[in-house]
Structure 1
């Protein structure tokens, strides 16, 4: 049960990320000044893939996957909505903050001694490396924005 709870917490973070990226993409479509939508779309797709991986593992372990992002998702959407109003750099910084928070959540989960090897493997080989790549992508977008 502990492992399913851990996975559902990570799943809620990923659901929050997909919702937040969708909001950013909606803003990008509405605002031609906000470039980088191809990169943002790729990050959004990667988070949807992470949601799918976590849901599959929760189901395989006999659990019920969370279906919404909960209060964290509401807060993340609020922050991103405000950032979208402030412009591209603020929007990218809000996304980057979410990615860093997600990476920290994965690292925290890896410190859990009760984590099973299949969960540990998914985080170490797929989810955390993807999160770290997202941070680098957003770093590049932010650097391009200030150049």
Structure 2
């Protein structure tokens, strides 16, 4: 199982965006990441700064960690590609219809994923994929 460090993840996004802007050949994963970065112009200055690998983005200072946000986007794209946890693809498609916008639905999924991960950490339990899918279904206005 691949378990990159914080710096490796950040370098991946910084290098990917540099390559995309230079119109270099991207791997399939880099293509997905570049598309995600393109949807977030508010993060472009960060991913264009190689020194951002070492920056902190403390939530108590009201900052959103752009690398965490982009990583969650990438994780959900992976989940959708393999429908794991089971039912995430259908729930996401319903969220897209409900919101009328894929990116808005993606942010709904991000919130559900973040809540599920926070809950698992708080309780010291494994992540609950069914609860995650259920939360997204609920946001999409579907019966659980």
Which TM-score applies when normalising by structure 2? 0.27
Structure (1 or 2) with the greater helix fraction? 1
Which TM-score applies when normalising by structure 1? 0.27
| More RCO (CA 8 Å, sep 6+) | 1
